[in-house]
Amino acid sequence: MTVTLIWIVVALVAIGLYLSWTAGRLDRLHTRIDAARAALDAQLLRRASVTQELATSGVLDPAASIVLYQAAHAARQAEEDHREVTESELSQALRAVFGEQAQVDVVREAPGGEEAADELAAAVRRVPMARRFHNDKVRAARALRGHRKVRWFRLAGHAPFPLAFEMDDEPPVALADRPGT
């Protein structure tokens, strides 16, 4: 009788430790999602800021400046519910304006344009990487939260269900293919 009771206690302690480890793992994943989201937000803000700077610099023609400024302003001011749409619209505006190498060359020839074009190129290349990193973390957390043990024992606690950030983040070809930046 005593030996059976000891084995039951050992089994319960082992199960408790395993569930505690799983809950800790899930908590770490949620923390990584928050960090990845902050990095994504920083990259999106950087891209919008660089775009606005370039739009107001006087280097671009007025129509391109207006399109880029409005899209960047909308992306910076967007509510969280509409953020994916406005960021996608900024990507589309960037592709429309910088779809051809000639427009990038015009920017590079202006005073300070080389740095501005390089900064914009770096910003538009970092957004897809940051989004992919964030969405990978979300996928991992969703997979773990989908396990029965996590649902049955409510190991996720009150943490909100992680959501991927889906947007059009394809960079303009003329900016993305710049070697050495």
> Widest CA span of the chain, in angstroms?
88
What pLDDT shows up at residue 178? 52
The token pair at 179 is 């070697």
Closest C-alpha among 107, 52, 54 to residue 75: 52
Query: Digits of tens for pLDDT over the chain (181 positions)?
Result: 899 999 999 999 999 999 999 999 999 999 999 999 999 999 999 999 999 999 999 989 999 999 999 999 999 999 999 999 999 999 999 999 998 899 999 999 999 889 999 999 999 999 999 999 999 999 999 999 999 999 999 999 899 999 999 999 999 998 876 544 4
Three-state helix/strand/coil letters over 110-154: CCCHHHHHHHHHHHHHHHHHHHHHHHHHHHHHHHHHCCHHHHHCC
State pTM to two decimals.
Answer: 0.90
111 CB contacts (<8 Å, ≥6 apart)?
none
- Phi and psi torsions of 156, nearest 5°: -80, -10
What pLDDT shows up at residue 56? 95
What pLDDT shows up at residue 181? 44
What pLDDT shows up at residue 121? 95
DSSP per-residue codes, 36-83? HHHHHHHHHHHHHHHHHHHHTTT-S-HHHHHHHHHHHHHHHH--GGGH
CB–CB of 29/144 below 8 Å? yes
What pLDDT shows up at residue 180? 45
CB–CB of 48/72 below 8 Å? yes
